[in-house]
Amino acid sequence: MLQPTYPYYLANVAEQPNADLEVTDKYTGEVATRVALADANAIDAGIAAAVGATDAMRRFTPYQRQAVLEHCVTRFRERYDELAMALCIEAGKPIKDSRGEVTRLIDTFKIAAEEAVRIDGEVFNLEISPRAKGYRGFTRRVPIGPCSFISPFNFPLNLAAHKVAPGIAAGCPFVLKPASRTPIGALIIGEILAETDLPKGAFSILPAHRDGADLFTTDDRLKLLSFTGSPAVGWDLKARAGKKKVVLELGGNAAVIVDADQREHLDHVISRLIFGAFYQSGQSCIGVQRILVQADLYDEVRDRLVAATKKLVAGDPKDENTFIGPMIDEKEARRLDDWIQEAVAAGAKVLCGGKRNGAMLEATVLENVAPDEKVNCMEAFGPVVTVQPYETFDEAIRLVNASEFGLQAGLFSNDIHKAMRAWDELEVGGVLINEVSSFRVDNMPYGGVKDSGLGREGIRYAIEDMTEVRLLVIRDR
């Protein structure tokens, strides 16, 4: 279970100046614990400490960074059950999914430990013309400097890890603002980092309300802002970030295409669509929101999808059998419920689900949804999926691309030519063949285009953003 209170971490040190931030059990709604809440002075001190640690982190050798990351892996394994239950309580994530996220946390730090000792440069030829005869070129990657990380509520462990772990591997001091609704996992990471010999000031983990956290974005002492969250907030932060580099991992309304040649594989297709649409109550930016099925197969896919959805167990996320837990709060559930009702009023049909009780929203399948309905064209971020038929593959490509978002997309097809065409033409950051859009492995380049963001995560790719290329030129005498 959770501790009664949790400190924040300022310049590597646990501090408990207050217990002003209440963290609720998302299923019961009761206060589960209280957390120290950072004010502007604490955030300013954390940034100052990161600036002061810049040289020490730059000199902190790759093998020392690797040792820190390996220590974290060991301790995460030792505290596996504690981390999973904390996540289950603070995020309302079903316990099986919570354990899966702890596994991914471990994977992410393992990858970062490996990458920490292979941040390489290159030797390249400068003798491209007579005037450059005798010149040699070399590059290396150096830490960009103090970084600001802002992580979201839906994957409070692993999405924080995708900032913290590459930051340590790259040699960058940082300040992290975890989501105020789900700060516990990040604070446990901080507790474990505090056990290491990271230089003084190398990290601060400071829960703060959004309206009191402008320094994470606007302070010019910070050289990079990495934000994961909603598009509206992300693009606003970019506009106010000043000269610093900005990496944005934002939202989506991901589509999956089911080709007519999948009739013999429908057991697999349906199971993956169910996972992609309703995993952790649909609160994933790459969750399946739009399912496009070739017309010849549409009725069968729709009917089987609905039958499988009706079998999902909803309830207490601490129950091993639960697949659908609560949304993050009742306000979000009410918002998505309103979107469903708006779509129905405009002619959509509820095939199953569609009812809400507090923060619990039933897994819902809709058809005949107009293109301009919010549940279709905006990010639903909840347990709702739309299904519609298409005639030609050209039409399917067009429907996927008819979105302001472009994070990931899936295609179930046996046709390699369609697979390659999808890779060529879909306006997304990643195309997954015979898999749903919500699949992610933690070393792959991950990110989107259009309103879904800019830059890429996945440890090696994040390290590239957190480092700069420094050139050396030597002239032979």
Q: Tell me, what's the pLDDT at 203? A: 98
Tally the C-alpha atoms within 13 A of residue 126's C-alpha that lie toward its C-beta: 17
pTM of this prediction? 0.96
Q: Which of 90, 172, 285, 362 is catalytic?
A: 285
- Give residue for tokens 């462990």: 157
Q: To which residue do tokens 């230089």 refer?
A: 199
Strands (E) across 151-289 are located at 174-177, 203-205, 224-228, 245-249, 255-258
Q: Which two tokens stand for residue 73?
A: 């892996």
Share of the chain above pLDDT 90, in %: 99
pLDDT confidence tier of residue 336, bands split at 50, 70 and 90: very high
Which long-range contacts does 208-213 make (Cβ < 8 Å, 24+ apart)? 208/37, 208/38, 208/39, 208/43, 208/177, 208/180, 209/37, 209/180, 210/180, 212/38, 212/39, 212/40, 212/43, 213/43, 213/150, 213/177
> Which tens digit of pLDDT belongs to each residue from 28-71?
999 999 999 999 999 999 999 999 999 999 999 999 999 999 99
Tell me the mean pLDDT in the region 3-8.
Answer: 97
* pLDDT tens digits along 137-166: 999 999 999 999 999 999 999 999 999 999
Identified catalytic residue from 249, 362, 373, 464: 249
Average pLDDT over residues 320-348: 97
- Catalytic status, residue 249: yes
Distance between CA atoms of 150 and 173, rounded to whole angstroms? 14
How much is the pLDDT for 65? 98
In this structure, the dihedral spanned by the alpha carbons of residues 430, 434, 440 and 443, taken in order and rounded to 10 degrees, is -80
C-alpha angle 341/344/346, rounded to 5°?
115
Diameter over CA atoms, the chain = 80
pLDDT tens digits for range 358-371: 999 999 999 999 99
Give 204 or 209, the one with higher predicted confidence: 204
At 315, is the pLDDT very low, low, confident or very high (cuts 50, 70, 90)? Answer: very high
| CB 441, CB 100: distance < 8 Å | no
pLDDT band at 477 (very low <50, low <70, confident <90, very high): confident
Compute the mean pLDDT over every residue in the chain, rounded to the nearest whole number. 97
Q: Tell me, what amino acid is at 419?
A: A
| Catalytic (active site) residue 285 | yes
Number of Cβ within a 10 Å radius of residue 391: 10
Looking at residue 46, its pLDDT comes to 98
Give the pLDDT of residue 149. Answer: 98
DSSP class of 90: H
Please report the pLDDT score of residue 1 as a whole number. Answer: 78
Q: Can you list the alpha helix ranges (DSSP code H) found in 194-257?
A: 215-218, 231-240
